[in-house]
């Protein structure tokens, strides 16, 4: 039944020239046809927490459905990643307090937890890429990413250790080194150290724009460094008021040899992500941090948000903003959803 145009219809047609934006939204197929960005399994990096010993996965209290895995279970997780098509997993160690010291020396032990997990995974599941942080916070008794003197974090002295850590991890089989320490000049030094150690293929994904953020709390709980942290990280991580500075940080990391860059946290910093991705034109990743994860899960557990919809919408936002990929604790869940066509 066609209705004769009302005065309102005539006014709309006159104003829009007949363009009706809802036309393309009327069915599922047409919405899919014109969608500008879509989340795919190749966009996902799965961060995993690894701990000593065997037995059941240990729940992380502040991150519902996230666990600390034994090395053996990390291998199983890597197999799951492979079967789902997730390209990369990121390993984060929970280091026992008695192995932590002022200088973070356990970071340089080639048989440390992260190295053993890396070797075990590379042995069993070579098809999956492995990303490891370059930073000392899982290993220091004060919870900082570098070497401390009094209450200062020393830049160059920290880098000397970080270079060795990067080489130890690359030798264990880590494919991507992720300097997350925010010391000045670290990418150049780490690149040189890797090359000198004959690890030319090891990639660097620089945490270029890493902000001093409240959204890392649950992660620090997961790796056991939260309670130890003396003070805060504002003398090396970025001030959340700034975006020009993020551009300078990222440009500098690229000039020093970074293959890829990252913005962290993710959702509260989408403007920074967009700016870096568009202006620099290099693979730019986002980290959906532990705090963002736990925020969504807390609302889900209260029945205030629909989990799957909230997850896909937020991860899609990173894609829309220009991310080449996303580190997300939701990765296996989303990959399964994508596989099932949900
Ligand atoms: C360590 C590091 C942190 C995160 C990744 N690497 C915490 C921090 O800098 O204090 C945060 C990840 C997350 O919150 O999910 N340098």
Per-residue pLDDT tens for 251-262?
Answer: 999 999 999 999
| CATH 3.20.20.70 applies to domain 39-340 | yes
Are 138 and 93 spatial neighbours (Cβ–Cβ below 8 Å)? Answer: yes
Read off the pTM. Answer: 0.96
With beta carbons less than 8 A apart as the criterion, state whether 135 and 181 touch: yes
Angle at 132 between CA 207 and CA 62, to 5 degrees: 80
Token duo for residue 239:
């001030």
Residue 52 CA to ligand 1 centre (angstroms): 20
> Can you give the pLDDT at residue 230?
87
Q: What is the percentage of the chain residues whose pLDDT exceeds 90? A: 96
Determine the atom of ligand 1 nearest the C-alpha atom of 180: 16
Predicted confidence at residue 38, as pLDDT, reads 92
341 C-beta neighbours (distance < 10 Å), count: 5
Ligand 1 is surrounded, with C-beta below 6 A, by 133, 135, 137, 145, 180, 216, 219-220, 233, 289-290
Number of the ligand 1 atom closest to the C-alpha atom of 289: 15
What is residue 226's predicted lDDT score, i.e. its pLDDT? 83
pLDDT at residue 339 greater than cutoff 80:
yes
Residue 216 CA, ligand 1 centroid: distance in Å = 6
The catalytically annotated residue of 122, 233, 264, 319 is: 264
In whole angstroms, what is the distance from residue 285 CA to residue 44 CA?
10
pLDDT of residue 81: 98
E strand or H helix at 133:
strand 129-134
Q: What is the pLDDT of residue 2?
A: 64
Beta bridge partners of 238: 211
Give mean pLDDT, residues 213-220. 96
- List 93's β-bridge partners, or say none: 50
**Is-catalytic flag, 339?**
no
- Per-residue pLDDT band at 116 (split at 50, 70, 90): very high
What is the distance between the alpha carbons of residues 324 and 197, in angstroms, rounded to a whole number? 29
pLDDT at 1 over 60: no
Mapped onto helix, strand or coil, the DSSP state of residue 282 is: coil
Report the candidate in 216, 272, 219, 286 with the shortest Cα–Cα distance to residue 43. 286
- pLDDT for 47 beyond 60: yes
Shortest CA distance to 220 belongs to which of 318, 309, 289?
289
Hey, which of 176, 181, 216 would you mutate to test ligand 1's pocket, going by the most ligand atoms within 8 Å of its Cβ?
Answer: 216
Q: Would you list the domain boundaries of the chain?
A: 1-35, 39-340
DSSP tag of 93: E
Gap between the Cα atoms of 208 and 270, Å rounded: 14
| pLDDT tens digits along 272-302 | 999 999 999 999 999 999 999 999 999 999 9
- Residue from 264, 278, 67 nearest 181 by CA: 264
Please report how the helices 307-321 and 270-280 are oriented relative to each other, as an axis angle in degrees rounded to 10: 40
Query: Token pair 């002295």 is at which residue?
Result: 157
CB 58 within 8 A of CB 51: yes
From the list 210, 230, 309, 339, the catalytic residue is 210
Nearest CA to ligand 1 atom 14: 216
Residue appearing with tokens 């090891």: 202
Question: From the CA of 137, how far away is ligand 1's center (Å)?
Answer: 9
């Amino acid at each position: 039944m066609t209705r004769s145009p009302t005065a309102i219809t005539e006014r709309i047609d006159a104003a829009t020239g007949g363009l009706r934006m809802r036309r393309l939204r009327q069915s599922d197929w047409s919405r899919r046809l014109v969608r500008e960005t879509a989340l795919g399994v190749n966009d996902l990096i799965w961060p995993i927490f690894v701990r000593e010993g065997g037995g059941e996965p240990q729940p992380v209290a502040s991150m519902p459905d996230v666990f600390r895995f034994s090395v053996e279970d990390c291998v199983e997780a890597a197999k799951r990643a492979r079967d789902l098509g997730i390209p990369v997993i990121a390993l984060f160690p929970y280091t026992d307090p008695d192995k932590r010291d002022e200088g973070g020396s356990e970071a340089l032990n080639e048989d440390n937890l992260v190295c053993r997990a890396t070797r075990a995974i590379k042995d069993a599941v070579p098809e999956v890429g492995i990303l490891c942080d370059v930073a000392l916070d899982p290993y220091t008794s004060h919870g900082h990413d570098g070497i401390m003197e009094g209450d200062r974090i020393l830049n160059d002295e920290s880098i000397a250790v970080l270079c060795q850590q990067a080489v130890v991890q690359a030798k264990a089989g880590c494919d991507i080194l992720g300097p997350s320490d925010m010391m000045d000049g670290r990418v150049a030094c780490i690149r040189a150290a890797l090359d000198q150690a004959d690890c030319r293929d090891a990639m660097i994904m620089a945490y270029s724009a890493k902000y001093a953020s409240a959204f890392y709390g649950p992660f620090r709980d997961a790796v056991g460094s939260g309670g130890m942290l003396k003070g805060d990280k504002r003398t090396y991580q970025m001030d959340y008021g700034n975006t020009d500075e993020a551009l300078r940080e990222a440009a500098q990391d690229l000039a020093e040899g970074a293959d890829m860059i990252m913005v962290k946290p993710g959702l509260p910093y989408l403007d920074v992500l967009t700016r870096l991705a568009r202006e620099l034109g290099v693979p730019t990743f986002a980290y959906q941090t532990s705090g963002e994860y736990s925020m969504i899960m807390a609302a889900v557990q209260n029945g205030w948000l629909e989990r799957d919809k909230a997850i896909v919408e937020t991860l899609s936002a990173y894609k829309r903003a220009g991310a080449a990929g996303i580190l997300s604790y939701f990765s296996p869940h989303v990959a399964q959803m994508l596989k099932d066509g949900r």
